[in-house]
Amino acid sequence: MDKIKCILNRIISFLLIVHSTFLFIFKVEC
């Protein structure tokens, strides 16, 4: 159970980083 939570946390944090980076690039290009 803890392993699943750890993996989920990693995926969520990774998605957040990718999302914020994408937004940043999008803002710069526009």
Tokens matching residue 21: 């980076």
Element (H, E) at 1: none
Cβ neighbors of 9 (< 8 A, separation 6 or more) are none
Say if residue 21's pLDDT is above 80.
Answer: yes
Q: Would you list the domain boundaries of the chain? A: 1-29
The DSSP code sequence of 5-20 is HHHHHHHHHHHHHHHH
Share the mean pLDDT of the chain. Answer: 92
Q: What is the pTM of this model?
A: 0.61
pLDDT tens digits, 9-20: 999 999 999 999
Polymer length in residues for the chain? 30
Element (H, E) at 21: helix 2-29
